[in-house]
Amino acid sequence: MILDRFRMDGKVAIITGAGRGIGAASAVTLAQAGADVVISARTADQLASVAAQVEAVGRRAAIVPADLSDLDAVAGLVDAARDAFGRLDLVVNNVGGAMPRPFMDTSPRRMEEAFHFNVSTAHALLRPAVPLMLENGGGSAVNISSAMGRVSGRGYLAYGTAKAALAHYTRLAAADLAPKIRVNAIAVGSVATSALDIVMQSEELKTAIENGTPLKRLGDPEDISGTVLYLASQAGSYVTGKILEVDGGIDAPNLDMGLPDVG
C-alpha cells in the first residue's frame, strides 16, 4: 500500500523550534506516522504540551528545553536522542528567523546573527547527527527555509540572505552525504504561526497577504509538516538536494512592507 511508505515506525527524529508552529506540527505529524521524537525550544511549558500530543498517539517524546542560538546546545540534542532512544533517523532544522529591517538598519552584526541562527544551527545539528544515523544505515534531514530565500522584497535582506544560504547548504550537504543520508529543504511561504501574529491581528494585513497569494489563503502548519513527512519517509526516498516550494504559489512577496526609497 502506498500509504505504508509514509510510515515512520521505529524511527527517531529531532525537531528544533518544536514548541509551537511548524516545529510542533512536525513533531506531532511524525509521531502520528510512528516516530519517537526529541523536541527542543526555549519554553518548557510549550514543549510539554507538544509532548502530550505525541504521547496521545502512542509515541514517546524527549523534551530538551534550550536556547538553540547556542551551537553547543544544538549539538547536544544528538546525545539526547542517543540517551533517550539509542538511535537517530531524522533531523528537522526548524529553528531560525530574523526580524525585517530596512537596508540601512541592517548592520553587519545583524547579518551575522541571521546566518548564525538559520544556517550555523542547522550545521551544528546535522554534523554530529551523521555518525549516529549511520549506525543504522543512514537517515535524512529536512531544513525549513523560506520563499524569501528566492524572491526579493524590501526589508528581508538578512532573513532572505540567510534562508537562501540554507537552501544552498541543503544542496551541498546532500552531495556530501549521499547516498546514505538525504538532505532536503522546504521553502515555506506565509504560514499562520506566531511569526505572523501581527498579520493575524489585522484583518487588513491578513487580507492583503491572502490576495497576494495565488491560493488565496495563509498556509497552515500541517501544510508544512505533511511535506516534512513526505521528505523524511520512504515516500520521498528518491529525493535529495531539493528545495520544495510550499508557499501557495507565490513568485513575489505577498506583502509590501511599505519601506521608502533610500535617500
Report which secondary-structure segment, H or E, holds 255: none
pLDDT in tens, 180-239: 999 999 999 999 887 777 767 788 888 999 999 999 999 999 999 999 999 999 999 999
**DSSP per-residue string spanning 7-71:** --TT-EEEEESTTSHHHHHHHHHHHHTT-EEEEEES-HHHHHHHHHHHHHTT--EEEEE--TTSH
Establish if 186 belongs to a structural domain: yes
User: What pLDDT was estimated at residue 201?
Assistant: 78
Contact 200, 206 (CB under 8 A): yes
User: What pLDDT was estimated at residue 255?
Assistant: 85
Average pLDDT, the chain: 96
pLDDT in tens, 56-97: 999 999 999 999 999 999 999 999 999 999 999 999 999 999
Establish if 210 belongs to a structural domain: no
Establish if 179 belongs to a structural domain: yes
Establish if 252 belongs to a structural domain: no
In terms of DSSP bridges, do strands 243-246 and 139-146 run parallel, antiparallel, or are they unpaired? unpaired
Question: What is the average per-residue pLDDT within 36-41?
Answer: 98
The C-alpha cell at 32 is 502520528
User: What pLDDT was estimated at residue 263?
Assistant: 84
Q: How far apart are CA 93 and CA 257, in angstroms?
A: 27
Contact 244, 227 (CB under 8 A): yes
In this prediction, what percent of the chain has a pLDDT beyond 90?
92
Q: How far apart are CA 14 and CA 89, in angstroms?
A: 8
Q: Catalytic amino acids?
A: 159
Q: How far apart are CA 246 and CA 243, in angstroms?
A: 9
Residue 146 has pLDDT above 80, yes or no: yes
The C-alpha cell at 174 is 546532500
Question: Count of domains in the chain?
Answer: 1
Residue 167 has pLDDT above 90, yes or no: yes
> What is the pLDDT confidence band of residue 152, given thresholds at 50, 70 and 90?
very high
Residue 40 has pLDDT above 90, yes or no: yes
Residue 170: which domain range? 2-193+221-243
Contact 165, 172 (CB under 8 A): no
User: What is the CATH classification number for the domain harbouring 238?
Assistant: 3.40.50.720
Global pTM reads 0.96
Establish if 109 belongs to a structural domain: yes
- CA neighbor of 76 nearest in space, from 108, 141, 121, 21: 121
User: What pLDDT was estimated at residue 193?
Assistant: 83
Q: How far apart are CA 32 and CA 217, in angstroms?
A: 26
Establish if 256 belongs to a structural domain: no
Establish if 263 belongs to a structural domain: no
Place of cell 541543503: 170
Question: Which residues lie below 8 Å from residue 84, measured CB to CB, with a gap of 6+?
Answer: 36, 38, 60, 62
pLDDT in tens, 91-134: 999 999 999 999 999 999 999 999 999 999 999 999 999 999 99
Establish if 214 belongs to a structural domain: no
